[in-house]
Structure 1
C-alpha cells in the first residue's frame, strides 16, 4: 500500500519565503489603498468637468463610476482566475499590476480623455485589480502547508483592511505634499493628481517586487485524484453563495450607516465617519485574532462561520431597534465582528475545497460572488432604507438567517474533508496543494 504515505508527504519546496509573502500582502494593500484613496475625491474632481450639470448629476456619475469599477472586478475575477490556472499565477499578477498602473495614468488628464475616458479608465482599473484579488490567495494557498494556511489568509485579509484605512490617509498626505511643494516654489500640484501618481507608483513598485521574488516554478502536482470530485463543486458553489450573501449584507449595512444621518438628525457626519472607522478596526481586530490564535486550524470552519453569523444577526437586530447612538455603536461592532469572522473563513475553506489546478478559478469565483453581492446589496439597500428606514437592518439579517440554517441542515456543504472511495478513514492529512 503506497497511497497513504504519498497522501501524508509534504513537498519541502512549496513554502513561500518571508519576503515573497510580504510582497504578496503588499500588493493586496496597494490595490485596496488605491480604491479607498480615489473614491472620496471623485465628487470634487468631477465637479469642474461638469459645472453646468449640478451636484445631482455629479453624484449620479460618482455612483455609476463606483458601479463600473465593481463590474470590472465582477467580470475580471473569474476570467483571471481561470487564466492563472493555465498560465501561472505569478505571470497573471504582474500583468494585473501593469494594467492597474496603466489604467490609472490617463486620469491625470481628465480634460483630454473626457467623461467617456474616465469611465473606461475606472472600469479597466477594476478589471485589472481583479487579477490581484483572487490570484494572491490562490498562490498563497498553492505554496503554503495547510497548517500555516489559516494564518496567512488572516494576514491577507488584514492587509486588505489596512489598505482601505490607509486610503483616506493618502489623501491627507497628498494635500500636505501639495502645500509643501508650493511653499518651496516647486509649483502648484493638484492633490488628486498626486494621489493618482502615488497610487500608480506604488503599483509599479509592487509589480517589480513580485516579478523578482515570486516562485518561478509551480509546485509539482500531488495526487489531485485523492480528493474525489464528487461534492467538490457543490462545496465550492456553496462557499461562493455564502460569500455573495455576506457581501450583500455588508454593503447594505454600510450604506445603512450613511443613511442614518438623514433619518437621525442628532447623528453628525463625524459620528458616521467614526462608525465606519469602528467597523474597519473591529474587522481588523478579528483578523488579528485569527492570525495570532490560529483559530481556523483549531476549530471547525463551519462552527466559526456559525458563530460569526450569529454575531452579525445580533448586531443587525440591535441596529434595527436602537434608540440611542450608544446602542448603534454596539450594533456596528457586533455586525463587523461577525462578518469579519465569516469572510476570511470562507476564503480559507474555499482554498481547501478546491484542487490545485482549479484554485485560480475557485478564488476568482469567490471574488466575483463578492462583487455581485456588493453591487446588488448597495442597490437593494438604497431602495429598502427608503421604504422602511431603520427597520431595514432587520431585513438585511434574513440572508444570514437562511445561511445559518444551511450550516445546520447541510453540514457536508461546508466541509473540506474528503475520504478516498477505497478507504474508510484517512488521517487528517492536508489536501493537495
Structure 2
C-alpha cells in the first residue's frame, strides 16, 4: 500500500479492500478502549471481595495509564523505523497477555499489578500505530472522516466496556478478561493475515528528517493534554458531586454515562467525519465553548435531568474537539515522524488520565463546586491555545 500515492489511495477509498482495511482498524480501536474500560466495574468489586484497602483500587486503575505514559513514545518512534504492522502485532499480543494474566491470577494482587502494567505498556503500541496507519493511508482532505470513525469506536468502547464487564463479572470476575483475550487473539490473526504494512523506513535516507517540536506542534500537544486531563477529572468527580446534590444512584450514573457516550460516538461517526479540511477551527472553538458552559452549569445541579444535560454537553464538547485535535496533529509532520508524534500524543493522553482524577478529586475536599469551575478555567486555556494555533495561519 505504501507504493501508491495518497491521492491514489483516496481515489480507491470506496473499494472493498479499503473498507475491509478500515474495518480491522476500527475493531482494534474499539477493543483497546473496551479493554481499558471493562475493568471499571470489576476492579472495585474485586478489591472489596479481597478485603483490600481502597487505595489498591485507585492504583490498579492508574498504574495502567502510568505505564502507557512511559512506553507510548518508544512504540511510536519504533514504528517509524521498523513498520506499523510489526509494532501493532507486538502491542496486540502484549495487550492480550495482560488480560489473560489478570484472569488467570485473579486472586494474586502482585500478578494483578503486573498484568495492569503489561496492559499499559503495550496499549501505547496499539494506539500510536492505528492512528499512524490512518495518517499513512489518507490525505489531509479525508483525514477528518476516518479519524471521526476511529473516534466513534473509542466512544463505543467506553460505552460497552463497563456494561459487558459488569454483566460478565456477575458470573465470574475472570470471565471478562478471558473473553477479551479471546477476541484480541482473533484480531491478531486478522491483522497478521489481512492488514498490509503502510510505512517503510528508508534506510540511509532521512525523508522526513527528525521530528522538530515547533511552536504549533507544542500548542497542539499541550491542548491534547489539557482536554484529556479536564475530561478525565470530570469523569472521576461527577458522581461524587451528584451524590451530594441529588443523591444519584449507581444505576442512574450508568444510564447518564451511557447516553453521553452514545452521543459522543454518534457525533464523531456522523457529524465529525463530514467536517472538511480547513473547517476544523470553528468546530473546535465551538466544542470548547460548549464544554466551558457545561462546567459552569454543573455545580448548580437541581435534578437528574439537569445533570444529564450537563453531562451530554460536556461529552459532546469533548467529542467535537478531541478527534479533530488528533487529526490536526497528524497533518503537522511527515510520515517518517508520524509514529513518534502519535506516541507522544498518546503519552500525554495517559498523563492527563493520571493527573485529572487526582486533581479534581483532591479539589473536592475543599469545595464541591471548585473542581468544575477549575474545569471551566482549563477549558478556557485550551480554547485560547486552539485559537492561537489557528491564528498563526494554520488551517489544520
Q: TM-score, normalised by structure 2?
A: 0.89
1:4-403 aligned at under 5 Å gives the runs 10=6, 12=8, 17-49=18-50, 51=51, 53=52, 57=53, 59-110=54-105, 114-171=108-165, 174=168, 178=171, 191-216=172-197, 218=199, 233-291=214-272, 294-297=274-277, 299-403=278-382
**Alpha-carbon distance, 1:250 to partner:** 0.3
**Alpha-carbon distance, 1:400 to partner:** 1.4
Q: Is the 8 A contact 1:247 1:370 kept in 2?
A: yes
**Alpha-carbon distance, 1:303 to partner:** 2.0
Instruction: Provide closer, same or farther for how the CA distance between residues 385 and 353 of structure 1 changes in structure 2, counting only shifts above 3 A.
Output: same
Q: Is the 8 A contact 1:296 1:304 kept in 2?
A: no
Q: Gaps (5+ residues) in structure 2?
A: none
Partner deviation per Cα, 1:357-392 (whole Å, 9 max, x = no partner) = 010011111111111112111000011112111243
Residues paired across the two proteins, number? 385
Q: Is the 8 A contact 2:219 2:385 kept in 1?
A: no
The separation in 2 between residues aligned to 1:239 and 1:345, in whole angstroms, is: 11
The separation in 1 between residues aligned to 2:209 and 2:317, in whole angstroms, is: 32
Residue in 1 that maps onto 2:384: 405
Q: Is the 8 A contact 2:67 2:120 kept in 1?
A: yes
Partner deviation per Cα, 1:50-103 (whole Å, 9 max, x = no partner) = x3x5xxx0x211100111011111112111101101010011000001111122
The separation in 2 between residues aligned to 1:410 and 1:155, in whole angstroms, is: 25
Q: Is the 8 A contact 1:13 1:219 kept in 2?
A: no
**Alpha-carbon distance, 1:31 to partner:** 1.9
Partner deviation per Cα, 1:327-347 (whole Å, 9 max, x = no partner) = 222221221111110000001
**Alpha-carbon distance, 1:256 to partner:** 2.3
Instruction: Provide closer, same or farther for how the CA distance between residues 230 and 300 of structure 1 changes in structure 2, counting only shifts above 3 A.
Output: farther
Q: Is the 8 A contact 1:313 1:400 kept in 2?
A: yes
Instruction: Provide closer, same or farther for how the CA distance between residues 215 and 230 of structure 1 changes in structure 2, counting only shifts above 3 A.
Output: closer
Q: Is the 8 A contact 2:201 2:336 kept in 1?
A: no
The separation in 1 between residues aligned to 2:323 and 2:393, in whole angstroms, is: 14
Instruction: Provide closer, same or farther for how the CA distance between residues 159 and 10 of structure 1 changes in structure 2, counting only shifts above 3 A.
Output: closer
The separation in 2 between residues aligned to 1:302 and 1:320, in whole angstroms, is: 29
SS in 1 for 2:326: helix
Aligned structure 1 segments of 4 or more residues deviating by more than 6 angstroms: 224-232
Q: Is the 8 A contact 1:239 1:366 kept in 2?
A: no
Q: TM-score, normalised by structure 1?
A: 0.82
Instruction: Provide closer, same or farther for how the CA distance between residues 404 and 291 of structure 1 changes in structure 2, counting only shifts above 3 A.
Output: closer
**Alpha-carbon distance, 1:410 to partner:** 4.8
The separation in 1 between residues aligned to 2:337 and 2:130, in whole angstroms, is: 14
**Alpha-carbon distance, 1:291 to partner:** 4.6
Q: Is the 8 A contact 2:264 2:319 kept in 1?
A: yes
The separation in 1 between residues aligned to 2:42 and 2:106, in whole angstroms, is: 16
Instruction: Provide closer, same or farther for how the CA distance between residues 175 and 64 of structure 1 changes in structure 2, counting only shifts above 3 A.
Output: closer
